[in-house]
Amino acid sequence: MKLTLGPVLFDWSRDELIRFYEEVAGMDIDRIYIGEVICAKKRSLEISDIEAIGTRLERAGKEVVVSSLAVVSNENELEMVRSISTLPFPVEANDMSVFNIIPTDSSIAGGQRGVIAGPHITTYNVPAVKFLQGIGVKRVIFPVELSKESVAYNILHTGIEAEVFAHGKVPLAFSWRCYTSRAYNLSKTRCQFHCRRYPDGMVLRTMDGEPVFTVNGTSILSASIYTLAGCIEDLREIGVSAVRVSPQYRDMARVVAVFRKRLDGEMGPIEAIEVLRETAGEGLCNGWYHAQAGKEYVGPELGALG
């Protein structure tokens, strides 16, 4: 089973990103997704920076994939999709436009690089997987709300190479509206890049104080950290071939080390959760995997096997 690092969802500065990927180059990760998923207005990295980071990571022995925007609503955003299609890396599609822009069929010119259906493509079931396989898609990252049973069913009946979102604030929604700008009485058009102030997003609490969501520009994530660190054996058994951890501003090396040890069988689930809990400011969740509400947490340390 491979350990992968998802794209950075937050707005970090160019220096921070370059430093981050320099550090990541030294981590024991198999595959790394780079590129911008959330907002076309972020300005930290030029396409040449993304290429340089990808090349640097490849030199460090990593497999590199570039992820597309999740919401593509105008020519400017289509240009971003076209620009990543010029990079020498496979592409993770997070919007259907990618499948129309980049050839997916390996038998035709330009189709050899590989296109992957990312977590924001709604691949819910066997016929959807089979359709995507039919156009040449080799790997699927299933929607985050699918339960263990649903993921297992899809893998069993299609043999698709499957990756799951396994750790981090989990993406819950996208909008045309920038919720961070809204907090400053600004529109997206008049954005003043306030996202930069929230390197792990802006946590929202309910009116009685319970942390529930994280505002991140035009996206909404969970406040708590979704983690399947306790379920690695389980994921392997149902045929999942890769687990994705999502970048966070602090403690990334610790999180990666825990997952590496879990995958290598050197750390048990209870110990892993103990360490990860220390790195999760607003707590843990993973209910979806267990066919419960996503915000719930089911863990081995609570007496229920993950």
Taking the complex as a whole, the smallest distance from the CB of residue 148 to another protein amounts, in Å, to 12
182 part of the interface to another protein, by CB under 8 A: yes
Instruction: Work out the burial of residue 59: count CB atoms within 10 Å of its CB; fewer than 13 is exposed, 13-18 middle, 19 or more buried.
Output: exposed
Q: Exactly one of 19, 23, 73, 106 binds another protein (CB under 8 A); which one?
A: 73
110 part of the interface to another protein, by CB under 8 A: no
Structure tokens at 67: 């992820």
Cβ-based nearer residue to another protein, 102 or 255: 102
The residue with tokens 């843990």 is 284
Structure tokens at 234: 């389980």
Taking the complex as a whole, the smallest distance from the CB of residue 158 to another protein amounts, in Å, to 11
288 part of the interface to another protein, by CB under 8 A: yes
**What residues have CB less than 8 Å from 79, skipping those under 6 apart?**
none
200 part of the interface to another protein, by CB under 8 A: no
Give DSSP secondary structure letters for 41-109: T--S--HHHHHHHHHHHHHTT-EEEEEPPS---SHHHHHHHHHHTTSSS-EEESSTHHHHHS---TTST
Phi and psi angles of residue 118, each rounded to the nearest 5 degrees, phi first: -75, 180
The residue with tokens 């909404």 is 220
86 part of the interface to another protein, by CB under 8 A: no
Site string for another protein, 129-168 (x = CB under 8 A): -xxx--x-------xxxx--xx--x---------------
79 part of the interface to another protein, by CB under 8 A: no
Q: Exactly one of 28, 233, 264, 296 binds another protein (CB under 8 A); which one?
A: 296
Residue type, 17: L
Distance CA 296, CA 65 (A): 31
Distance CA 23, CA 27 (A): 7
186 part of the interface to another protein, by CB under 8 A: no
- DSSP category for residue 230: G
Taking the complex as a whole, the smallest distance from the CB of residue 263 to another protein amounts, in Å, to 27
Taking the complex as a whole, the smallest distance from the CB of residue 70 to another protein amounts, in Å, to 8
291 part of the interface to another protein, by CB under 8 A: yes
Cβ-based nearer residue to another protein, 112 or 175: 175
Q: Exactly one of 13, 23, 88, 127 binds another protein (CB under 8 A); which one?
A: 127
Crossing angle, helix 269-278 and helix 252-263, to 10 degrees?
Answer: 170
175 part of the interface to another protein, by CB under 8 A: yes
262 part of the interface to another protein, by CB under 8 A: no
Q: Exactly one of 96, 270, 302, 305 binds another protein (CB under 8 A); which one?
A: 96
Cβ-based nearer residue to another protein, 10 or 21: 10
Stretch that binds another protein, among 17-25, 84-92, 172-180, 240-248 (CB under 8 A): 172-180
Instruction: List 92's β-bridge partners, or say none.
Output: 67, 116
